[in-house]
């Protein structure tokens, strides 16, 4: 469309005096010369660098998760043995040698326990294998008697040897042996890693505290040292109380098993004491299962007696023994302990279940040290009671609703109406 004279004049008309001409926007939203802003390439490079750093950090964290968990376990183990190492160091022994002595003692006790328990299990497995033909004959005789069949042990053995299930099971077992060997080697390597880190943490505890405090101001240094002391006291107190309860539990169960003449009574007593105390929540049931099974091989009634004793002793421990021993070390409500174990298991698996209770005890001590508490008012409602004259009981409310029903007559209302009519 060709411009008219009017549009041409309007386009060529100069702006009025005293006014600034409007600034036309750049074409395409670019700079004055039609190029992109100078900050845009730098922003893109910075964004890509941040994404790359985040991806690299996430990958490194996932790769180092196992090492970080081992370091966490080693730190809690070092806190647990810190009181014993400090006690030896204050009596003239070098701290490194004291940590070495404590670790040697722990390793000897653990190796002895595993060896004794392994010998018990191996002996029971050998007895089970040797007595399996007699067990199988008794089962076959029972089936033939009650179901009028003609089964024979030779026929069952030949059927098992010719079955595809047994062949596949043997092949899978041969493959699984390699997997088990790899897992055992990996477990030993992790155990060695935890032992080395915990030894270094325990032996160089003062140096580690000085290194941490050297980068903090004096006020923060006092808080860090106080938090460290609380963690040592709570973790060491947890180990102390659990060890003492394990000793009492082991002695009590040893007396019972020895009285019932159950074989391997000392080893089973140590098993019950350690497993019931250091495996939270389900440790009691795991600890009582093995003595019950071995007692069942002697006499089924002995297994029942063991079950009854385990249940009674567990109640005695929960309501009498544990409150007295943990009142000054790790005083945690059972519901809080159970919830912490579940949370630790969800976060770190079995490791989280083991360190959940000392961790929550340390957190509880931190809250008690840094959170201000007030005296509770003397109000009956604190104890779940109502004040006198406030609030009606359930029976009183129901009675009031009944009397306020439409059509319900109050007692004595009929007599009053008859008196008025007679008058």
Out of 324, 354, 369, a domain closes at: 369
Window from 26-40, 157-171, 271-285, 364-378 with minimum mean pLDDT:
26-40
Window from 60-69, 193-202, 336-345 with minimum mean pLDDT:
336-345
- Distance, in Å, from the CA atom of 88 to the CA atom of 79, rounded to the nearest integer, reads 15
Is residue 49 in a domain?
no
- Distance, in Å, from the CA atom of 351 to the CA atom of 345, rounded to the nearest integer, reads 7
pLDDT of residue 402: 66
Is residue 41 in a domain?
no
pLDDT of residue 34: 63
pLDDT of residue 101: 93
Residue 422 has pLDDT above 60, yes or no: no
Contact 36, 30 (CB under 8 A): yes
pLDDT of residue 19: 57
pLDDT of residue 387: 60
Is residue 303 in a domain?
yes
Residue 139 has pLDDT above 50, yes or no: yes
Residues 241 and 137 in one domain: no
Residues 199 and 234 in one domain: no
Higher-scoring residue by pLDDT: 308, 285: 308
Average of pLDDT values for 330-358?
78
Residues 240 and 343 in one domain: yes
pLDDT of residue 404: 62
Out of 353, 369, 385, a domain closes at: 369
Residues 229 and 311 in one domain: yes
pLDDT of residue 394: 59
Helices 65-90, 205-213: crossing angle, 10 deg rounding: 110
Is residue 384 in a domain?
no
Residue 8 has pLDDT above 70, yes or no: no
For the ranges 62-71, 128-137, 371-380, the maximum mean pLDDT occurs at 62-71
pLDDT of residue 421: 45
The DSSP code sequence of 81-116 is HHHHHHHHHHTT--HHHHHHHHHHHHHHHHHHHHHH
Residues 241 and 363 in one domain: yes
Is residue 334 in a domain?
yes
Contact 272, 253 (CB under 8 A): yes
Residues 77 and 193 in one domain: yes
pLDDT of residue 100: 92
pLDDT of residue 393: 57
Print the domain residue range for 293.
225-369
- Distance, in Å, from the CA atom of 320 to the CA atom of 317, rounded to the nearest integer, reads 6
Higher-scoring residue by pLDDT: 355, 86: 86
Contact 330, 361 (CB under 8 A): yes
What confidence category does residue 420 fall into, taking pLDDT thresholds of 50, 70 and 90? very low
Compute how many other C-beta atoms are within 10 angstroms of the C-beta atom of residue 264: 20
Is residue 32 in a domain?
no
Window from 59-73, 258-272, 397-411 with minimum mean pLDDT:
397-411
Q: What is the pLDDT of residues 45-55, one digit of tens each?
A: 999 999 999 99
State whether the Cα torsion 216-217-220-225 is positive or negative.
positive
Residue 10 has pLDDT above 50, yes or no: no
pTM of the model: 0.65
Residues 211 and 231 in one domain: no
Contact 213, 227 (CB under 8 A): no
Residues 100 and 208 in one domain: yes
What confidence category does residue 415 fall into, taking pLDDT thresholds of 50, 70 and 90? very low
Average of pLDDT values for 123-141?
81
Higher-scoring residue by pLDDT: 287, 148: 287
pLDDT of residue 20: 56
Higher-scoring residue by pLDDT: 114, 373: 114
Could you give the C-alpha distances from 369 to 221, 223, 230, 333, in angstroms and in order? 16, 11, 9, 18
Average of pLDDT values for 235-264?
88
pLDDT of residue 312: 92
Closest CA to 292 of 123, 284, 128: 284
- Distance, in Å, from the CA atom of 286 to the CA atom of 279, rounded to the nearest integer, reads 9
pLDDT of residue 400: 64
Residues 72 and 207 in one domain: yes
Number of domains into which the chain is organized: 2
Residue 16 has pLDDT above 70, yes or no: no
State whether the Cα torsion 23-24-27-29 is positive or negative.
positive
Contact 292, 285 (CB under 8 A): no
Residue 23 has pLDDT above 70, yes or no: no
Residues 141 and 191 in one domain: yes
Residues 156 and 289 in one domain: no
Residues 255 and 339 in one domain: yes
Is residue 383 in a domain?
no
Is residue 155 in a domain?
yes
Residue 210 has pLDDT above 60, yes or no: yes
Q: What is the pLDDT of residues 399-413, one digit of tens each?
A: 666 666 555 455 454
Average of pLDDT values for 19-40?
61
- What's the chain's average pLDDT? 79
Residue 418 has pLDDT above 50, yes or no: no
- Any alpha helices (H) in 260-282, and if so which ranges? 265-278
Out of 369, 385, 413, a domain closes at: 369
Average of pLDDT values for 28-42?
69
């Amino acid at each position: 469309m060709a411009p008219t004279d009017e549009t041409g004049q309007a386009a060529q008309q100069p702006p009025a005096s005293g006014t600034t001409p409007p600034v036309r926007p750049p074409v395409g939203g670019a700079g004055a010369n039609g190029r992109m802003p100078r900050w845009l390439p730098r922003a893109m490079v910075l964004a890509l660098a941040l994404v790359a750093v985040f991806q690299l950090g996430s990958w490194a964290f996932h790769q180092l998760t196992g090492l970080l968990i081992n370091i966490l376990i080693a730190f809690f183990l070092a806190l647990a043995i810190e009181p014993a190492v400090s006690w030896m160091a204050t009596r003239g022994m070098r701290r490194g040698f004291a940590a070495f002595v404590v670790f040697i003692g722990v390793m000897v006790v653990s190796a002895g326990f595993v060896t004794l328990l392994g010998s018990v299990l191996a002996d029971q497995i050998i007895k089970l294998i040797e007595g399996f033909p007699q067990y199988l004959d008794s089962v076959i005789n029972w089936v033939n008697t009650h179901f009028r069949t003609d089964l024979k042990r030779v026929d069952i053995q030949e059927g098992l040897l010719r079955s595809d299930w047994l062949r596949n099971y043997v092949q899978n077992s041969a493959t699984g042996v390699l997997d088990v060997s790899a897992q055992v080697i990996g477990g030993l390597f992790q155990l060695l890693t935890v032992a080395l880190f915990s030894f270094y943490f325990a032996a160089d505890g003062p140096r580690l505290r000085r290194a941490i405090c050297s980068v903090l101001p004096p006020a923060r240094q006092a808080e860090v040292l106080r938090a460290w002391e609380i963690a040592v006291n709570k973790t060491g107190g947890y180990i102390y109380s659990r060890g003492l309860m394990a000793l009492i539990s082991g002695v009590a169960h040893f007396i019972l098993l020895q009285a019932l003449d159950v074989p391997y009574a000392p080893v089973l007593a140590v098993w019950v004491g350690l497993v019931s105390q250091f495996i939270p929540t389900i440790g009691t049931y795991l600890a009582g299962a093995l003595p019950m099974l071995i007692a069942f091989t002697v006499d089924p009634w002995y297994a029942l007696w063991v079950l009854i004793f385990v249940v009674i002793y567990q109640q005695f421990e929960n309501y009498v023994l544990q409150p007295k021993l943990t009142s000054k070390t790790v005083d945690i409500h059972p519901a809080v302990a159970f919830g912490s174990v579940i949370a630790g298991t969800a976060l770190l698996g079995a490791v989280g279940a083991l360190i959940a209770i000392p961790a929550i005890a340390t957190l509880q001590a931190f809250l008690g040290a840094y959170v201000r508490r007030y005296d509770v008012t003397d109000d009956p409602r604190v104890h779940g009671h109502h004040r006198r004259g406030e609030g009606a009981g359930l029976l009183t409310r129901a009675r009031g609703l009944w009397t306020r029903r439409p059509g319900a007559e109050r007692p004595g209302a009929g007599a009053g109406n008859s008196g008025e009519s007679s008058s």
